[in-house]
Structure 1
Amino acid sequence: MSDTTPIIPAASAPPSYTETESHRLTTTIKEEVKPLTAVAPRDAPPPYEYPPQCPPSSGSGYQRFDDRGRRCEMVAVIELGSESVYLQCPSCGNFVYSNLEYRTGALTCLASTLCFLFCMVCTCLPCFIRDCLDVDHYCPRCNFHFGTFRRL
């Protein structure tokens, strides 16, 4: 390379406004605008329909769906204790106070074992103390079992 050759070629002057406008008007092509259409494949499965969701509740509860999964209802979770509870029976739909039935549980067995170790005569005593027994809650009309309160 010699020292006289330019490294950058000389730039020509940009085209004038009239030259640019005439060139743009002659090169414009009118195109037809076709709307896009969605083409579904022939073997596409039918669209999936989601089951309706229950609105969120402010309290504790769980969702229960019928056999088709379409209808749901909110079922409140009630804390069962050693006392009778006023609630609506999910089986018969009546508002009732629950019937209580007492039965032996883990606390009763533990207390009986401790009584056996210290005094054999008092072994059966925890079976007659209601504060040691588990409590079953039932509907008084249809005998539906609401749940069991376990002491231990």
Structure 2
Amino acid sequence: MAAPMPPYGEKGEAPPPYFNLPAAVQAAPNPGPPQGQYPPQGQYPPQGQYPPQGQYPPQGQYPPQGQAPPAAQAPPAAQAPVVVIATQPANFGKYPMNMTCGNCHAKIQTSVRYEVGTLTILLCFVIFLFTGICCFIPFLIDDCKDAIHHCPSCNTTVGRKDGI
């Protein structure tokens, strides 16, 4: 088996070139920034005659220096804006919340009624499997039940929070 090659520098060798460029290109100095194209430091270049904003001449035809471009056409008469009221769906929780009723449009604090749901029954079975007793406890705890939100003004159901 051949001995591994030593890293560069142990024999005093330079690494191989990455590109095989002609010698004239490799030795060409950096020309630097172009000279004479920039205004002296602290002075601004002269401002040209630009058309006013929003009024551009036809493409390829700029007005002669010192003349204003032809007036742009007036926009068509604006129609009355259409107002759309979008309501964002509320994130109902386990407790009463402030909102606007979608039925009677009153600003309300919801009344919450708790009903037995999937979570309540699931917890009952899990407790029964592990203990054999006390499986009725989830039926006594409101946080284990589904929360039904009602409007106190019109008694409409406005939302629901399931346990699962």
Q: TM-score, normalised by structure 2?
A: 0.47
SS in 2 for 1:73: coil
Identity of matched residues, %: 27
Q: Is the 8 Å Cα contact of residues 138 and 144 (structure 1) preserved in structure 2?
A: yes
Residue type of the alignment partner of 1:98: T
Residue 75 of structure 2 is aligned to residue 75 of structure 1: no
Unaligned runs of 5+ in 1: 1-52, 56-71
Deviations 1:114-147 (A, max 9, x none): 1221333312110111121110000001011111
Structure with more of its chain in strand, by fraction = 1
Q: Structure 1: which 4+ aligned runs deviate by more than 2 Å?
A: 118-121
Match of 1:103 in 2: 115
Q: CA RMSD in A?
A: 1.9
Q: Secondary structure at the match of 2:133?
A: helix
| Equivalent position amino acid for 1:126 in 2 | P
The alpha-carbon deviation at position 54 of structure 1 amounts to 6.8
Aligned residue pairs total 84
If each structure's helix is expressed as a fraction of its own residues, which one has the higher value?
Answer: 1
Aligned to 2:139: 127
CA shift, 1:150, in A, is 1.0
**Long gaps (5+) in structure 2:** 1-80
Summarize the alignment of residues 3-152 of structure 1 with structure 2, pairs less than 5 Å apart: 73-152=85-164
Normalization by structure 1: what TM-score?
0.51
Distance 1:124 1:54, change over 3 A: farther
Distance in 1 (CA, whole Å) between partners of 2:132 and 2:115 is 22
